[in-house]
Amino acid sequence: MTEPLLDVQDVVVDYGRGRTAFRALAGVSLQIAPGECVGLVGESGSGKSTLGKAVLGLAPVTSGTIAFDGRDITHARGADRRALASDIQVVFQDPYGSLNPNMTIGDILTEPLTASGTGRREAQARVAEMLDRVKLPRAWADRYASEFSGGQRQRVAIARALVRRPRLIVCDEPVSALDLTTQATILDLFIELQRDTGVAYLFVSHDLGVVRRVCHRVAVMYHGELVETGEGEQVTRHPGHPYSERLRLASPVADPVAQRARRLAWLKTREDVTTTRIGTRF
């Protein structure tokens, strides 16, 4: 891998203090190269979204370091964190709650540009370009989010993330709230946009099938630790850790007979996961 764009080293995140403290991340290390998509996968509560929030400055880092393009951003606050917005953006899970219902789509996309000092005319031209990129008509800039479907809203959210031309986007379960057909079109859009712009993704998901489709490398998280990291095809189809295998078996298949066999195998992995030392890395 080339010099990493994002370099996470031994990051620990604790919530609360004293006897009520909860360790959400326990010494996580992860790197993302420029233009690379790294999938972070695990069940709910595994800590995967917490890592994304730590990169965005939304979760407190107890120890360890997060570096972006060689610069330590672990505890960046105020003006330093706002300056990072031009390089690091986010697409949230909920396409219905992430857009201001009182603003037109054009205003939602223009706001981050004008707030950073971009002139009104240039901002409007950039917004038109972004709507083209996410395959929405330019004329829809005058509409409100309530007029759009979930998939269309997520396209707007992606356009908002891209409008400042960032180098890294944290994608936090960006398709989990969408139906399967819409998921497929949005995933194809992510792939196309990365190819055209060279942006890197930290792609958080609970679904191995999703990360297999879009990610170059995959990291599997369990109880705040990374238990397996490797090439996307290898980890999602032939995982080496019992927990990764459990995630693979949890993905449904269309054949009822094969699905029953997969279900029985999934139940067996529950025993293997509890008897395997989770800290082992492959």
Instruction: List % helix, strand, coil for the chain (3-state, nearest 5).
Output: 45, 25, 30
Which pLDDT band holds residue 18 (cuts at 50, 70, 90)?
A: confident
What digits encode the pLDDT tens for the residues 139-151? 999 999 999 999 9
DSSP letter assigned to residue 231: E
If phi over 0 gives left and psi between -120 and 50 gives alpha, with beta otherwise, what is residue 16? left
Q: In order of start, what are the domains of the chain with their CATH numbers? A: 1-87+176-282 (3.40.50.300), 94-165 (no CATH)
What digits encode the pLDDT tens for the residues 194-232? 999 999 999 999 988 899 999 999 999 999 999 999 999
What per-residue confidence (pLDDT) applies to 54? 96
What digits encode the pLDDT tens for the residues 94-127? 878 889 999 999 999 999 999 888 888 899 999 9
* Rounded Cα distance, 265 and 249, in Å: 7
CA geometry: angle at 167 spanning 233 and 95, to 5°?
Answer: 75
CB 216, CB 235: distance < 8 Å: no
The DSSP code sequence of 242-258 is HHHHHHHHHS--S-HHH
**CA gyration radius, the chain:** 20
| Res. 281: pLDDT tops 60 | no
Q: Which residues pair with 18 in a beta bridge?
A: none
Question: String of b and e for 223-250 (b: at least 16 CB within 10 Å)?
Answer: bbbbbbbbebeebbeebebbbbbbbbbb
* Rounded Cα distance, 125 and 42, in Å: 39
What per-residue confidence (pLDDT) applies to 201? 98
